[in-house]
């Protein structure tokens, strides 16, 4: 960004993770290391220095005239008309601009933009296995038992455990956490628990999900190994960028 005439105060994101930080959601650093990048001893909470840099950056952007502000974001995010790299997977097509400082940083971490797309989006395909698990014959049979049970318990519209949880959150979620359950809340919870037990829906879904996930992992075994290597190298590059080379 400096080479293109703009200020960009580096901001790292920190969230609690064991006894360390995740910097830029990639590399876990110790508290001592994280403090060198603007974080205090309170895990997961930016220090005053980090918040000050964020405010300074916002003031800087607010003072730029509109053409310069557009140029700033074009330099940061890149222009897709210049070109982009795409990855087609079961979830859809994902792409990233070739130009822009963010893409430059991704190339520096992941080696190239295709590695970034592969390591970021392909693992999300395993989430689609949940749909396959819900379609499993044994799961559908358990769902039918669960739905009939909930009808008998007085909840004809709550035909799946996730619907029961959503209804409970909608009806009772705004109450204080330390408040004792109401009779309605207790009745719904007991009905849901009983119907899960008689239908065996939890175990049936867990078995189906494990089977579907195993199939995906077998098909993508080489991709998973490659992604693991890409991520390990990216973590090493991130640590070197933030902390300097390790001799």
The pLDDT tens digits for 18-54 are: 333 333 333 344 445 545 555 444 444 455 666 777 7
Q: Is residue 24 within 8 Å of 18, Cβ to Cβ?
A: no
Give the residue extent of every domain in the chain: 1-77, 82-247
Share of the chain above pLDDT 70, in %: 81
* 20-23, strands of its sheet edge to edge: 16-17, 20-23, 27-30
Give the chain's radius of gyration (CA, Å). 25
Which stretch of 6-10, 50-54, 92-96, 212-216 has the lowest confidence by average pLDDT?
A: 6-10
The residue among 153 and 22 whose pLDDT is bigger is: 153
pLDDT tens string 164-205:
988 888 888 777 767 788 899 899 999 999 999 999 999 999
What percent of the chain has a predicted confidence (pLDDT) above 90? 31
Evaluate whether 57 touches 10 at the Cβ level (below 8 Å): no
* Overall average pLDDT of the 228-247 stretch: 83
**Which residue would you say has higher pLDDT here, 6 or 18?**
6
The alpha carbon dihedral of 39, 42, 46, 47 has a sign of negative
The CA distance from 71 to 185, in Å, is 54
Supply the mean pLDDT for the chain.
80
């Amino acid at each position: 960004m400096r080479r293109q005439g703009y200020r960009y105060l580096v901001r790292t994101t920190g969230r609690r993770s064991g006894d360390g930080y995740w910097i830029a959601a990639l590399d876990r650093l110790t508290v001592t290391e994280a403090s060198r990048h603007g974080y205090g001893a309170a895990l997961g909470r930016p220090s005053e220095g980090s918040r000050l840099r964020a405010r300074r950056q916002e003031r800087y952007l607010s003072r730029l005239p509109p053409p310069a502000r557009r140029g700033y974001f074009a330099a940061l995010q890149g222009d897709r008309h210049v070109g982009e790299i795409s990855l087609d997977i079961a979830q859809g097509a994902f792409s990233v601009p070739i130009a822009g400082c963010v893409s430059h940083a991704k190339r520096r971490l992941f080696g190239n933009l295709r590695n970034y797309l592969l390591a970021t989006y392909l693992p999300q395909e395993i989430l689609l296995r949940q749909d396959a698990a819900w379609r499993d014959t044994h799961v559908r049979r358990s769902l039918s038992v669960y739905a009939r049970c909930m009808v008998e318990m007085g909840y004809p519209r709550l035909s799946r455990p996730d619907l029961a949880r959503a209804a409970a959150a909608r009806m009772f979620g705004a109450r204080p956490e330390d408040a004792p359950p109401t009779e309605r809340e207790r009745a719904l919870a007991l009905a849901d628990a009983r119907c899960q037990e008689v239908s065996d829906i939890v175990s049936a879904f867990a078995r189906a999900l494990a089977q579907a996930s195993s199939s995906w992992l077998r098909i993508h075994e080489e991709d998973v190994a490659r992604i693991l290597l890409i991520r390990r190298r990216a973590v090493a590059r991130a640590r070197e960028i933030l902390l300097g080379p390790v001799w």
